[in-house]
Amino acid sequence: MARLDGKIAIITGGNSGIGRATAKLFCKEGAKVIIAARRTEKNQETVREITAEGGTIVDIQADVSKMEDCKRIVEETIKKFERIDILVNNAGMADRHIPINLCAEEWYEKVVRVDQFSVFYMCKYVLEHMEKQGSGSIVNVSSIGSQGIAGIAYSAAKAAVNSMTRNIAIQYAGTGIRCNAVAPGPTPTELNSPEQFKLFNKEFAAVCGRHIDLTLPEAQPEDQAEAILFFASDASKAITGQILYVDNGVLVIC
């Protein structure tokens, strides 16, 4: 039997990288998937690919940094499928390893709105429906950057995601609603492409690099998707409030 047979899952940022790999895996495991992301063309490309493989998937064009868009994602999902079993908060901005003394207020706010506020908005509106059902699994995509080994804005936002994960887990413990997080290490996605790396503050990136082992192999988007699937499925039905680092041991030396 498929591990997510008949489940309804929302995946933010589901049109590329970890989100896309997760959408494909969830559909393979029997879920009906809603991907929510800004880029309409990438959304539709993902829907066509997964539909051709036999999956049930729809897209919603939305900017999850905006409260009203998050609310609309949830409302449209309920209207179409009548329930939400799984929420994967995957949408995020790339880190540029900008240290605090060089970080503009505008950049800090932009990163926090995408990487932190979106998680708050989506959890808040989805939980209203999970409470009525008495069941549900939320999986937040954090980062090893939550340990401070990234730009100030990204580190702060991802640390907040970890704390929100535990806070939600505490509130809903024993209710049938669980909340966990997956914290990827270096993973080849658009957010970590050579084009993005050109925008990094190389000096501070090197400082952060002294505290992790970047000689180890990268994890792949599919590795992250499998970890997300574990938390989304009944295989982890007794687990909540946990942060799972998927990084091939990059952070173990810390």
Model-level pTM? 0.95
How does residue 218 score in pLDDT terms, banded at 50, 70 and 90? very high
**Tokens representing residue 62 in the block:** 């939305």
Q: What's the average model confidence in pLDDT over 154-160? A: 98
Question: What residue has token string 């997300």?
Answer: 228
Rounded to the nearest integer, the mean pLDDT of the chain is 95
pLDDT of the residue at 189: 78
Q: Is 154 a known active-site residue?
A: yes
Q: How do residues 96-151 score in pLDDT, each as one tens digit?
A: 999 999 999 999 999 999 999 999 999 999 999 999 999 999 999 999 999 999 99
Catalytic residue, candidates 108, 125, 154, 172? 154
Question: For a pLDDT cut of 70, what percent of the chain falls above it?
Answer: 97
Q: How far apart are CA 47 and CA 63, in angstroms?
A: 18
Provide CATH code, domain 8-246: 3.40.50.720
The beta-carbon contacts of 204-210 under 8 Å, at least 24 apart in sequence, are 204/97, 204/98, 204/99, 204/102, 204/151, 205/97, 207/99, 208/97, 208/149, 208/150
Strands 32-37 and 8-12 come out as parallel
SS3 category, 12: strand
For 11, the enclosing helix (H) or strand (E) is strand 8-12
Residue 214 pLDDT > 50, yes or no? yes
Name the H helices within the chain.
Answer: 17-28, 40-52, 67-81, 105-112, 118-133, 152-172, 194-197, 202-209, 221-232
Q: How do residues 15-64 score in pLDDT, each as one tens digit?
A: 999 999 999 999 999 999 999 999 999 999 999 999 999 999 999 999 99
Residue 254 pLDDT > 60, yes or no? no
